[in-house]
Amino acid sequence: MKLHIYKTKQEIADHVAKYLQKLAADRKLLHIALSGGSTPKILFQELAHHYVDKIDWAGIHIYWVDERCVPPSDNESNYKMTADFLLSHVKIPGGNIFRMHGEAPPAKEAKRYGALLRQKLPQVDGNPQFDLVLLGLGDDGHTASIFPESKTLWNAPENCVVAVHPISGQERISLTGRVINNAREVAFLVTGAVKAEIVREVVRREDNFASYPASLVAPISGVLHWFLDKEAASGLT
């Protein structure tokens, strides 16, 4: 595990953008799975402002870690957030964007997306392999849309499952552990003091860590990055 701790959100965005740029330069074709939530937004803004010409966007294929079951025009849609803050600003061919269809019947969509991953991604050890999976961390210990209340979904035999947000009841489509842990690299992007406790528990494997889906993130490749701002990392020092 590699911990990267930065002073500000802007510094994290700078460094993660550079990390992405390097991955893209090293590999002609990059399959990335993006998360929703507020934290990736800062990265997307940085990429949209400063990396329009610094990354060969034609070599990047974008997928999602999870999606809320809403239409792509809904403000809750992870696709919409990514489109608004990143995709509409860079020259990425439409054919490189593989969104989860939040508007479709969830079980059907989980099946379709799971099959799409089998078809489009290299299969390594029997599972699809992303070059990079970018994760967020919920303050309840969830990651992707695998929540503590339904943690067993992490080990589902499928590539994608339907999950339910424990409080709002909103349905979501989510990648499962078999896909996330099969990625060549996995990176958590976490900011803010509200995340300090959960970061400490998950990273240090203390207290209730075993009940959090985020503690199950353990890429077979061994390449796990934690990009944190100093508030989120404040429990580690």
| Beta strand spans in the chain (E) | 2-6, 30-34, 60-64, 66-68, 123-124, 127-128, 132-135, 160-164, 171-175, 185-190, 224-229
Cα→Cα distances 228→1, 2, 23, 136, Å: 13, 11, 19, 11
**Residues in region 147-206 near ligand 6PG by CB under 6 A:** none
Q: Are the C-beta atoms of 195 and 139 separated by less than 8 Å?
A: yes
Q: Are the C-beta atoms of 20 and 55 separated by less than 8 Å?
A: yes
143 part of the interface to ligand 6PG, by CB under 6 A: yes
What's the rounded Cα separation, in Å, for the pair 134 and 34? 5
59 part of the interface to ligand 6PG, by CB under 6 A: no
Considering beta carbons, is residue 27 or 104 the nearer one to ligand 6PG? 104
Considering beta carbons, is residue 142 or 200 the nearer one to ligand 6PG? 142
Using CB positions, name the residue nearest to ligand 6PG: 136
Q: Which stretch binds ligand 6PG (CB under 6 A): 3-11, 94-102, 136-144, 220-228?
A: 136-144
Strands across the sheet containing 66-68: 66-68, 171-175, 160-164
Considering beta carbons, is residue 78 or 215 the nearer one to ligand 6PG? 78
- Exactly one of 9, 55, 66, 201 binds ligand 6PG (CB under 6 A); that residue is 66
Q: Residue 62: name the closest of 16, 20, 25, 112 by CA.
A: 20
35 part of the interface to ligand 6PG, by CB under 6 A: yes
136 part of the interface to ligand 6PG, by CB under 6 A: yes
Q: Are the C-beta atoms of 207 and 201 separated by less than 8 Å?
A: yes
- Exactly one of 102, 106, 128, 138 binds ligand 6PG (CB under 6 A); that residue is 138
- Exactly one of 55, 70, 144, 161 binds ligand 6PG (CB under 6 A); that residue is 144
Which tokens belong to 221?
Answer: 């490749």
Which tokens belong to 25?
Answer: 């330069």
- Beta pairing class for 132-135 and 30-34: parallel
Q: Which stretch binds ligand 6PG (CB under 6 A): 11-19, 104-112, 113-121, 130-138?
A: 130-138
**Contact code string over 75-104 relative to ligand 6PG, x by CB under 6 A:** ---x--------------------------
- Exactly one of 36, 102, 106, 128 binds ligand 6PG (CB under 6 A); that residue is 36
**Residues in region 37-56 near ligand 6PG by CB under 6 A:** 37-39
Which chain residues interact with ligand 6PG by CB under 6 A?
A: 35-39, 65-66, 78, 136-138, 142-145
